[in-house]
Chain A
C-alpha cells in the first residue's frame, strides 16, 4: 500500500515540477527577473524584465526559492516534501500562502458528508430494489425494473444533477441553489440533491450486481432446505440469502465510494459546494502544486483505506474467510 502511495505522489510531484516552472507558479512573472544581478547591485531595473522590480521583489523570489527548496534537484525536493508530509506538514499553498492542512480541513468534511449521503442513497435504494427484483426474477416487476435500472445507469451524474437542479431549485425552489453552512440541518438539506445525483446512478449499478448474485444464491440447496423447514420467504431472503450475496456488490461499492471523494467535481460545481473535489480541480488548473499533491494523497489514501475496510467486511460477512486467515 505504501508503494502505491509513493508511486502516485511521485508521479504527480515530478509531473507538476517538470511541466510547469514551480518558481513561476509561486511568484508569478517575477520568476523571469534576473535576480542575481539585481541583488548583487549591478542593475536596478533589468531590461526585458518587469519595470520597477527592485530588491524587494527579488527578496520575495529568493525567499520562495528557499522555502520550497526550489534550488535542489527533483529527488531531493521530493524527499523534503515526503518527510514533511509524514510529519503531518503538507506545506503552504503556492497561491494564498495558507497551510494546506487548513484548506483541506475546511473542504474535506463537506465532501465526506456528501460521499456518505451518496452511499446511503445508493445502498438504501439498491438493496430493497435488488431483493424485490430477484425475488421473482424475470417476472413482471423485474422486467420493468430492468428497464428502469438501465435508464438510471445511463444518465450521467451531471445530467441528472442539472435536471434535478432545474426542477427542485429553479422551478419549485425546494432546495437552496448553493451550499448553506449554517447548521447541521442546512448542511444536510443542501446536500440532498447532490447526494441523489451521485447516488442514484450508482444505485442502479449496485442493484444489477446484487440481483445477479441473489439469483445465484437462491439456487443453492440450503434455500430449498430452509423452505422445506417452513421458513417464510421474507426470513429466507433476509436472514439466509442476502448476506452471502453481498460480496460482488460490496467490492464495487468499495471501488466507487473512494472515487466519489475526488470525483464529484462537476456535482460540486453545479450545486456550488465548496468541497474537496472542487478545490482539487481549481488547484490543479492554477498549478497550486502543494494543494494538488496533498489532495492526491488524501484521495489515494481514501481509496486504499476504503478497499481495506471492504476486505475486512468480507470476513464479517463470510465466516469462511475468517477461518482461512
Chain B
C-alpha cells in the first residue's frame, strides 16, 4: 500500500517538474473541477455513513409529514404518498446504492483483473481460453446472466454485489490484459525472470503495481457503472430484497399515479444518482487523462 502511495506522489511530482521545464508532453493537471467532483462524492459517502446520527426523519416512518406534498421547509424533498420524508429516504437510499456499487466493482476488478493479468502475461492457450470466456460473457443478455447467478446465490446484499460484478468483468479483463501486455515484455520483467522469480511472483510484484495505477481511474468510472446497474436491477425488483436503494425509490416514484401526482418522489433520487455518477465519471476521466490511458469507452455499457 505504501509503495503505491509513493509511486503516486512520484508521478505527480515528475509531472510538475516537466510542466515547469520545457514544453514537453506533460500530463494534464487534475484541475479544480476534479476536486469539486471528489467533494460531492465525499459528501454523499459521509452522509450515507452517518445517516442514523443525522437529525432527519425515519425513512420508513409513515406520516412524518402530510401525504404527497411538494418540497417545503419541513420536508426539503417533499413527501411521498405515505407521508414519508423523501429527503431522509434519499440519504438512506444512498447506503445500499453505494455499498452494492462499491463491492460489485471491487469484486469485478478482482475477477476481471486476475483474468486479464494472467491472460496477458501467460499468453498462449490460457489467454485464448480466458478471451473466449470474456466473449461468451459479452454475448449474454446481461439480465439473463444476472438472473442465472442471483438464482444460485440469492438476493442478499453481498449476493447481489457478486452477481452484479459479472457486468463489469469483461471490460475490466480486456483492459487489464491490454495493459499487462505492454509491461510483460519490458526489461524489468525479464530481469525478474532471469533472477529466478516464479511466474506468480512476477505477476504480483512486478506487473500488478504497474497495472493497478492506470486501472484506478477505471475504478471510479466502473463504480458509476455499477451504481447505475444496481439502480436498473432495483427498478426491476431484482436488487437487495431488504431495504431500499435509489433505484428502488425511482421505481416506486415512477408508478403512473405517483409520477402524475408527486413527480418529486422519483426526481430527487434520480438527481442524487445523476450527480453521483456525473462526479464519478468526471473524476475518473480526469484521472484517466492524468495517467494517459486511451479512451476505451467503458462508460457505454
A residues within 8 Å of B by Cβ? 3-5, 7-8, 11-12, 15-16, 19-20, 150-151, 153-156, 158-159, 162-163, 165-166, 170, 177, 202, 205, 208-209, 212, 248, 251-252, 255-256, 259, 261-263, 265-266, 269-270, 277, 280-281, 284-285, 292, 295-296, 299-300, 303-304
CB distance from A18 to the nearest CB of B (A): 9
> Is B147's CB within 8 Å of the partner chain A?
yes
Q: Say yes or no: A154 contacts B278, CB within 8 Å.
A: yes
Q: Say yes or no: B250 contacts A300, CB within 8 Å.
A: no
Q: Name the residue among B138, B139, B236, B250 with the largest chain A CB count within 10 angstroms.
A: B139
How far does the alpha carbon of A265 sit from the alpha carbon of B250 in the complex, in Å?
A: 16
How far does the alpha carbon of A5 sit from the alpha carbon of B132 in the complex, in Å?
A: 11
How far does the alpha carbon of A276 sit from the alpha carbon of B138 in the complex, in Å?
A: 18
Q: Name the residue among B135, B143, B228, B300 with the largest chain A CB count within 10 angstroms.
A: B300
CB distance from B242 to the nearest CB of A (A): 20
How far does the alpha carbon of A230 sit from the alpha carbon of B278 in the complex, in Å?
A: 42
User: How many A-B residue contacts, CB cutoff 8 Å?
Assistant: 138
Q: Say yes or no: A150 contacts B300, CB within 8 Å.
A: no
How far does the alpha carbon of A280 sit from the alpha carbon of B224 in the complex, in Å?
A: 26
> Is B53's CB within 8 Å of the partner chain A?
no
Q: Say yes or no: A162 contacts B250, CB within 8 Å.
A: yes
Known: A156-B231, A292-B144. A150 touches B285 (CB 8 A): yes
How far does the alpha carbon of A167 sit from the alpha carbon of B27 in the complex, in Å?
A: 43
Known: A212-B295, A263-B142, A265-B236. A19 touches B250 (CB 8 A): no
1/0 per position for B265-278, CB-CB distance to A under 8 A? Answer: 01100100110011
Q: Say yes or no: A262 contacts B273, CB within 8 Å.
A: no
Q: Say yes or no: A259 contacts B260, CB within 8 Å.
A: no
Known: A248-B295, A296-B144. A158 touches B136 (CB 8 A): no
Interface size on B, residues (CB 8 A): 43
Q: Say yes or no: B142 contacts A259, CB within 8 Å.
A: yes
Pick the 10 closest A-B CB pairs, nearest first. Answer: A262-B141, A154-B278, A300-B139, A252-B297, A154-B277, A205-B300, A156-B228, A299-B141, A159-B270, A303-B139
1/0 per position for B72-112, CB-CB distance to A under 8 A? Answer: 00000000000000000000000000000000000000000
Further contacts, 11 of them, CB under 8 A, given A15-B148, A248-B297, A284-B144: A158-B250, A159-B250, A162-B250, A162-B253, A162-B259, A165-B254, A262-B144, A265-B236, A285-B147, A299-B141, A304-B139
How far does the alpha carbon of A4 sit from the alpha carbon of B152 in the complex, in Å?
A: 23
Do most interface residues of chain B lie in helix, strand or loop, or is the interface mixed?
Answer: helix
- Provide 17 A-B residue pairs closer than 8 Å at the C-beta atoms, listed in order of the A residue: A7-B136, A11-B148, A19-B151, A151-B274, A153-B299, A156-B273, A170-B263, A202-B300, A205-B297, A205-B299, A208-B295, A256-B300, A263-B141, A265-B236, A281-B143, A300-B139, A303-B138
Docked complex: B257-301 residues within 8 A CB-CB of A: 259-260, 263, 266-267, 270, 273-274, 277-278, 280-282, 285, 295, 297, 299-301
**Contact residues in A for B256 (Cβ distance below 8 Å):** 170, 177
Known: A158-B250, A166-B263, A262-B144. A15 touches B151 (CB 8 A): yes
CB distance from A238 to the nearest CB of B (A): 23
**Contact residues in B for A300 (Cβ distance below 8 Å):** 139-140
**Contact residues in A for B151 (Cβ distance below 8 Å):** 15, 19-20
How far does the alpha carbon of A235 sit from the alpha carbon of B273 in the complex, in Å?
A: 42
B residues within 8 Å of A by Cβ? 132, 135-136, 138-144, 147-148, 151-152, 224, 228, 231-232, 235-236, 250, 253-254, 256, 259-260, 263, 266-267, 270, 273-274, 277-278, 280-282, 285, 295, 297, 299-301
Q: Say yes or no: A209 contacts B144, CB within 8 Å.
A: no
How far does the alpha carbon of A61 sit from the alpha carbon of B75 in the complex, in Å?
A: 58
CB distance from A104 to the nearest CB of B (A): 14
Partner of A270, one of B144, B224, B254: B254
How far does the alpha carbon of A4 sit from the alpha carbon of B128 in the complex, in Å?
A: 13
Chain B, residue nearest A270 (CB): B254
Q: Say yes or no: A265 contacts B224, CB within 8 Å.
A: no
Chain B, residue nearest A6 (CB): B136
Partner of B274, one of A155, A202, A255: A155
Q: Say yes or no: B141 contacts A295, CB within 8 Å.
A: yes
How far does the alpha carbon of A256 sit from the alpha carbon of B138 in the complex, in Å?
A: 10
Q: Say yes or no: B297 contacts A209, CB within 8 Å.
A: yes
Partner of B301, one of A16, A159, A256: A256
Q: Say yes or no: A166 contacts B143, CB within 8 Å.
A: no
CB distance from A10 to the nearest CB of B (A): 10
Q: Say yes or no: B136 contacts A4, CB within 8 Å.
A: yes
Known: A150-B281, A153-B299, A159-B273. A262 touches B228 (CB 8 A): no
**Contact residues in B for A303 (Cβ distance below 8 Å):** 138-139
**Contact residues in B for A159 (Cβ distance below 8 Å):** 231, 250, 270, 273-274
Q: Say yes or no: B267 contacts A296, CB within 8 Å.
A: no
How far does the alpha carbon of A265 sit from the alpha carbon of B146 in the complex, in Å?
A: 13
Q: Name the residue among B135, B263, B297 with the largest chain A CB count within 10 angstroms.
A: B297
Known: A11-B136, A19-B152, A280-B141. A156 touches B259 (CB 8 A): no
How far does the alpha carbon of A146 sit from the alpha carbon of B103 in the complex, in Å?
A: 30
Q: Name the residue among B135, B144, B277 with the largest chain A CB count within 10 angstroms.
A: B144
CB distance from A165 to the nearest CB of B (A): 7
Partner of A280, one of B144, B235, B273: B144
**Contact residues in A for B266 (Cβ distance below 8 Å):** 162, 166
**Contact residues in A for B259 (Cβ distance below 8 Å):** 162, 165-166, 170
